[in-house]
Structure 1
Amino acid sequence: MKLHELTYLVVDDLELMRAVTVNQLRALGCEKIKTARNGAMGLDILRNSKIDVVLCDWNMPVMSGLDLLKTVRSDPKMVKLPFLMITAEAERQRIEEVIQAGVSGLLVKPYNAGNLRTRLEKVLSGPARPSNGLTPTNRPAGTSSAHTYNRRATDTTLAPSRILVVDDYPVTLRLLEQMFKDEYQVVTATDGLSALALCRAEPIPDLLLMDVMMPGMDGFEVVRQLHTRPETAQIPVIFVTGSADEETRLKGMELGAVDFVLKSSDPKALRAKVRNFIKYIDMRRKLQADFDAMLDASMLREDVENTTRHDIKGSLAGIVGMVQNLADDDTMHPRHVEKLRLVEKTAQQVIDMVNLSGELYKMETGNFKLKAVPIDIGDILHRIVDLSRSTFFDKGLTIEVDTDTPVGTELPQALGDANLCYSMFQNLIKNACEAAPPGTRVVVALRDEAPLRIEISNHGVVPPELRDRFFDKFSTSGKTGGSGIGTYSAQLLAKAQNGSIRMDTSDADNRTAITVTLPRHTFDPTTPNA
């Protein structure tokens, strides 16, 4: 759809800024515009009206722009809604936060209608960013991100700033052009009407150096005309004139000129003034370019990760299929079938790991949705312990499951996700077995409480320097090849299932225990299949 066909929601707590954005949209031919003075009011409009694009300020009372964005991205009905954040923020960490939250584009204040149009066109032509930047992964295997999206390069090198010089006297015009052409893009005009036309065409000048007294339309009238249109109202103007009259100078300043320079002044002074002002303009342009590059890099990284994850799963699924066909062949020797089944199981475990990496990313970005069901947590623990006994046989460990449930009664069930629980406890039990000294015991205790409590204990203590950051990402100690994400992912998995996790280590007892709690499933005889 074209820009003028869309319906816009402008959210800003300042009435003046709402009016500026609305006027700039209207200058682009957009008339279907709704406004809100905070995120909460904006959310109400979004839930009751059809909105195509959101233009939102960041810092607002009641509900900030970031909170509104997070709410929008968590709603399945609005998850792909184009969301342009308008901000004066310059702190990189905060910008990364809004990028992770799934913003479609960033627009740095102050801006003009030309900047706004550029950002809107990019937001509408680029890929949707559902779920904090998670992009769809259902494209054909092997599709490269370079062919999927036509993104601009992330090089933030700026083109020279553009200066429009306006003077009806050819000698002065040529002098000013020569003075600045080595540093900036210089465009010239000999009268007010030509200057207006150049200011209304892309690319809009970054700065206007203009004479006051010109035939037809003087410099003052040019400034008045510039201020009647949102796309040109913010072009800064420096008057360069031969008039030293104080009244003329004050009139120019009242109209909004940023400076007033006499033609008889030292050219070096004019160069210095222009250079200082262009520095400010370039800072804003660089900030916008940096934000665009950060957003592009984030989208590219997400695309590559998702494409890679999709392609790996596709290849592994093919391997599993071929192995299954071989194992089902009646002519295959039983010993070979056994090995093929082991290959099949290993490949399936890798697929599960790839799937888990996607789920962990959702958890990190706050977009994971738990579909909790009753799970046989006792069976999961027994299966992991049985596997661990064979894996750590050479260490002579005694690995056992201890329950407080009377013999002959069913073990309690947890309420969560079976795959997530298996991954979490497999990591924790493996860590305990690796840390336990040879010939010692590792006990996995299941306690029938509300919530359920699962404690994994082993001999040995966590090093003092690691205790305060035990669940931090990439924290590891004493393990060759350890990644330091096992306990970190366990914490994510526990919290994602509405549970908790903690570590206790005792130098006196020479023991370490990891305690996980999970919601307990309560059997309801009135519910079918409870």
Structure 2
Amino acid sequence: MKQETAIILLVSKQISMRKVIRSHLYRRGFIHILEARDGREAQTLLLQNPINCIISDWEMQDITGIDLLLQVRSDPELQNMLFMLVTAETKRDNIEKAILAGVDDLLIQPFTPAKLCEKVLRLIQKNRHIPREMQIHMAGSTKSDLTSPILQSLLDEGMTFDQEQSEQETVEEIHIANSQLIAENTYLKAELDRLSALDLKSPLTELLSLNQSLLQQRSLSAEVKQQLKQIDHLSHHLLARVDGSLNLWKMETDQYELQPESFDLIAVAEQVINAERPNAKNKSITIALDGPHKCHCYGEALLCRTLLGNLVRLAVDASPKKDTVLIKVHADEYLHITIHHMGLTSIEQQNQFFNKYSLPNNPTVSEAYAARIISIIQGGDIKVVSKVNEGSQFILRLPKGA
């Protein structure tokens, strides 16, 4: 398997650790890298993406790296997946425990960028996990009966790590790599702050307020009112896109501070429909809304405006001509929104639908990925389902408002 086609899942509670590993692997040609903060989030990503290899911390809350490994090996659909554990522990008993659980390799901390990339490249070349028969006497035994050299290799690595490269050289290389990563993050944050400082939201908000005032005047002709309504729709659309773009990075790095409140989701959906109608008209597509007169959601209205806008645009783009994109809303303990169209999404496309980048080597973040991040940050979830003769639908769940 080649680096550019492999899909790797990084699982670590430490953002810095994920960024260090991601940065080094990206430089070596691994462009499809997903991240999970814990075992539970990893389980969700495993269901949604055709992942080839997992690189996971050993120590995590709730579901440890070993627990996640055991779950993967017990699942018939996932059991051949490659799995590497990252740990600072080099005790023989723990290494034996990992081998018995079915690990393919261990990455011992501290590690150098060269060691990381060497191990991952070697692992990916295997293509899939190959079960090994072995008998290992656990803690308390005097020796191990090995039928595979992998345990001895890992034991040797843990016991002779400081013999391969002096501790000072290792620390210096890691320090240089971390310094480079910090510099990159500082630059990205400065760029984000610069964009935020432009404060496009304030003038757009003022424009919306002024537009609403003009719409209240009774002396306006029907044509002028229609033009003002179109300005209102486009301004809402632009405001949502600006807000979503500026905040996505904060959401990915757990820096976004959600300020939820109860708002009418139906009103937001109507704004989305009005904004997306010109694009749909080019394909003779109708966008319809089926729901109650009002339905309150608990979240941020502007984020939901971006979320629904992204999904409706995707539905319109995937729909055949003269189709209808139908948005259905109903409530029980949660708000349930489905967006249906008659286009089809293959199993492979469904598995990769919410990937960050829709195409290899394309730096543009996909609208589906942004929609998923926005739904998760607000305590919801999202999936895509497609069936022959029934079409496709986005199934979205959000917290219910008062």
Q: TM-score, normalised by structure 2?
A: 0.51
- Residues 259-291 of structure 1 deviation map (CA, whole Å, 9 limit, x = unaligned): xxxxxxxxxxxxxxxxxx9x9485433322332
Q: What percentage of residue pairs aligned between the two structures are identical?
A: 17
Equivalent of residue 416 in structure 1, options 299, 305, 309: 299
Q: Is the 8 A contact 1:500 1:516 kept in 2?
A: yes
1:292 aligned partner, one-letter code: H
* Number of the residue aligned with 2:110: 89
Q: Is the 8 A contact 1:499 1:518 kept in 2?
A: yes
Bigger radius of gyration: 1
- Is residue 2:401 matched to residue 1:518? no
Q: SS where residue 392 of structure 1 aligns?
A: helix
* Number of the residue aligned with 2:191: 308
* Number of the residue aligned with 2:352: 469
The separation in 1 between residues aligned to 2:236 and 2:258, in whole angstroms, is 22
Q: Is the 8 A contact 1:402 1:444 kept in 2?
A: yes
Equivalent of residue 495 in structure 1, options 356, 359, 376: 376
The separation in 2 between residues aligned to 1:318 and 1:497, in whole angstroms, is 21
Closer, same or farther: CA 341–301 of 1 in aligned 2, 3 Å = farther
Q: Is the 8 A contact 1:466 1:476 kept in 2?
A: no
Equivalent of residue 505 in structure 1, options 386, 397, 401: 386
Closer, same or farther: CA 366–412 of 1 in aligned 2, 3 Å = same
The separation in 2 between residues aligned to 1:504 and 1:455, in whole angstroms, is 10
Closer, same or farther: CA 347–283 of 1 in aligned 2, 3 Å = farther
1:489 aligned partner, one-letter code: A
Q: TM-score, normalised by structure 1?
A: 0.39
Q: CA deviation at 1:292?
A: 1.8
Give the unaligned 5+ runs of structure 2: 1-56, 63-87, 89-107, 118-159, 212-220
2:189 aligned partner, one-letter code: N
Q: SS where residue 438 of structure 1 aligns?
A: coil
Equivalent of residue 400 in structure 1, options 288, 297, 302: 288
The separation in 1 between residues aligned to 2:358 and 2:202, in whole angstroms, is 34
1:512 aligned partner, one-letter code: S
The separation in 2 between residues aligned to 1:487 and 1:436, in whole angstroms, is 16
Q: Is the 8 A contact 1:413 1:521 kept in 2?
A: yes
2:174 aligned partner, one-letter code: F
Equivalent of residue 308 in structure 2, options 401, 425, 428: 425
- Residues 151-206 of structure 1 deviation map (CA, whole Å, 9 limit, x = unaligned): xxxxxxxxxxxxxxxxxxxxxxxxxxxxxxxxxxxxxxxxxxxxxxxxxxxxxxxx
- Residues 450-496 of structure 1 deviation map (CA, whole Å, 9 limit, x = unaligned): 2111000001101332121211221359xxx8945211111111111
Q: CA deviation at 1:344?
A: 10
Q: CA deviation at 1:427?
A: 0.2
How is 1:9-88 mapped onto 2 (pairs within 5 angstroms)? Answer: 88=109
Q: Is the 8 A contact 1:319 1:347 kept in 2?
A: no
Closer, same or farther: CA 287–350 of 1 in aligned 2, 3 Å = farther
Closer, same or farther: CA 93–283 of 1 in aligned 2, 3 Å = closer
Q: Give me the CA root mean square deviation.
A: 4.6
- Is residue 2:254 matched to residue 1:374? no
Q: Is the 8 A contact 1:313 1:351 kept in 2?
A: no
1:371 aligned partner, one-letter code: Q
Q: CA deviation at 1:441?
A: 0.6
* Number of the residue aligned with 1:384: 272
Closer, same or farther: CA 512–92 of 1 in aligned 2, 3 Å = farther
The separation in 2 between residues aligned to 1:359 and 1:91, in whole angstroms, is 33
- Residues 34-76 of structure 1 deviation map (CA, whole Å, 9 limit, x = unaligned): xxxxxxxxxxxxxxxxxxxxxxxx988999xxxxxxxxxxxxx
Q: SS where residue 460 of structure 1 aligns?
A: coil
Q: Is the 8 A contact 2:201 2:239 kept in 1?
A: no
2:175 aligned partner, one-letter code: D
The separation in 1 between residues aligned to 2:172 and 2:324, in whole angstroms, is 58
Q: Is the 8 A contact 1:461 1:507 kept in 2?
A: yes
The separation in 1 between residues aligned to 2:60 and 2:380, in whole angstroms, is 33
Closer, same or farther: CA 508–350 of 1 in aligned 2, 3 Å = closer
The separation in 2 between residues aligned to 1:446 and 1:415, in whole angstroms, is 14
- Residues 87-122 of structure 1 deviation map (CA, whole Å, 9 limit, x = unaligned): 9421759999xxxxxxxxxxxxxxxxxxxxxxxxxx
Q: CA deviation at 1:363?
A: 2.7
Higher relative contact order (CA 8 A, sep 6+): 2
1:302 aligned partner, one-letter code: N
Q: Is the 8 A contact 1:89 1:95 kept in 2?
A: no
Q: SS where residue 295 of structure 2 aligns?
A: coil
Closer, same or farther: CA 306–366 of 1 in aligned 2, 3 Å = closer
The separation in 1 between residues aligned to 2:330 and 2:283, in whole angstroms, is 27
Closer, same or farther: CA 364–91 of 1 in aligned 2, 3 Å = farther
Q: SS where residue 396 of structure 2 aligns?
A: strand
The separation in 1 between residues aligned to 2:115 and 2:245, in whole angstroms, is 25
- Is residue 2:176 matched to residue 1:293? yes
Q: Is the 8 A contact 1:471 1:491 kept in 2?
A: yes
Q: Is the 8 A contact 1:320 1:344 kept in 2?
A: no
Q: SS where residue 282 of structure 2 aligns?
A: helix
- Residues 3-57 of structure 1 deviation map (CA, whole Å, 9 limit, x = unaligned): xxxxxxxxxxxxxxxxxxxxxxxxxxxxxxxxxxxxxxxxxxxxxxxxxxxxxxx
The separation in 2 between residues aligned to 1:428 and 1:402, in whole angstroms, is 16
Q: CA deviation at 1:401?
A: 0.4
Figure out how many residues of one structure are paired with residues of the other and give that number: 248
Closer, same or farther: CA 512–309 of 1 in aligned 2, 3 Å = same
Q: Is the 8 A contact 2:333 2:400 kept in 1?
A: yes
1:389 aligned partner, one-letter code: R
1:89 aligned partner, one-letter code: P
The separation in 1 between residues aligned to 2:198 and 2:263, in whole angstroms, is 30
